[in-house]
Amino acid sequence: MNYIQLAYKGHREFWMFLITACVVGGIFLVNFVFYLFTDPSELDQAYELMKQIPSNISLIINLIPFAFLLALLFILVKFMHQRSILSLTTTRAKVDFGRIFFAFMMVATFTLVTFFIGYSIDSSDLVFQFDPAKFAVLFLISIILFPFQIGLEEYLFRGYLMQHIGVMVKNKWFPLILTSILFGIAHSANPEVAAIGFWKMMIFYIGTGLLLGIMTLMDEGLELALGFHLGNNLLASLLVTADWTALQTDAIFRSTAEPSMSLISEILIPVLVVYPIMLLILAKRYKWSNWKTHLFGKVEEPPKENYKIIE
């Protein structure tokens, strides 16, 4: 069975899908509606109000809901859809933590190397603010809570939605594209979207969603996407913070630069050059083949003996 076909291991009634998707993903829909119908000046006031909260408390407030929503998703999958969490995670007999670690180290290494190259060339906009006590608290909060945040996003977008939409439309390309667009829209209320520009950030977020979705379909599991997403978000929290980003933390460095991202060097090159290189690295390591089948193939119901509803 391929990854999307794992949805056949449980109940798949449409009303179940609607309840689970709306209840668990409702927070992202609310954020998008908030972004669409709120005056930009009011958005700025909301972001400024959030800055008045101590950074670690603000981080906890932002991340705690993800833990409850991830637990809710698991409960609905297990008891309403009658599926195991393993079937939401991977086609393998057990979760491959080695894959999670490899993807984590790949993105962490890339982030650190490129950051310090840039820092050695021009550090004028970066302030070293490392405080051991504050950083230790931040590190503890991050390693405890970020797995829930990235876990919810991966299990919801690349897991639950990818599988159930794929089963409904009977192909793989449509859920890959749709969940990537939804992933971008889900981040539309982040302050960097207002600071940098909606379409610039959507290219980056949707491109990242496509990267994570391709990883999932080619590798037949969420492990690589989980590791990559965790490495990216942890480094974003611990390495550099700025007044205009979603994460206000006691990171090692603070950027004092005006909010801006070059469309070419900071958005298109990562999405169109760096991401494909990372996919090629993973393809070489894990011996991926049949890209067309994995990404564009049909989704057919497997023989009944290949799956059963969890009792």
pLDDT at 47: 67
Token output for 91: 């086609």
Strand arrangement of the beta sheet that strand 253-255 belongs to: 126-128, 253-255, 240-242
Give me the DSSP letters along 186-243.
HTTTSHHHHHH-HHHHHHHHHHHHHHHHHHHHHHTBSHHHHHHHHHHHHHHHHTEEET
Cβ pair 146, 237 in contact under 8 A: yes
Find where tokens 């950083």 sit: 135
pLDDT at 311: 36
Neighbour-count burial of 168, counting CB atoms closer than 10 A to its CB (0-12 exposed, 13-18 middle, 19+ buried): middle
pLDDT at 110: 97
pLDDT at 208: 97
Token output for 11: 């109940």
pLDDT at 46: 67
Token output for 180: 């990537």
Cα–Cα nearest to 224, from 180, 159, 269:
159
What global pTM score does this model have? 0.93
Distances (CA, A) of 162 to 128, 175, 189, 209, 305: 41, 5, 23, 11, 23
pLDDT at 44: 67
pLDDT at 6: 96
pLDDT at 310: 46
* pLDDT tens-place values along the chain, 311 residues long: 899 999 999 999 999 999 999 999 988 887 777 777 777 676 667 666 776 788 889 899 989 999 999 999 999 999 999 999 999 999 999 999 999 999 999 999 999 999 999 999 999 999 999 999 999 999 999 999 999 999 999 999 999 999 999 999 999 999 999 999 999 999 988 888 878 888 999 999 999 999 999 999 999 999 999 999 999 999 999 999 988 777 778 999 999 888 888 888 889 999 999 999 999 999 999 999 999 999 999 999 988 766 555 43
Instruction: With H, G, I as helix, E, B as strand and everything else as coil, classify residue 1.
Output: coil
Q: For the beta carbon of residue 72, count every other beta carbon within 10 angstroms.
A: 14
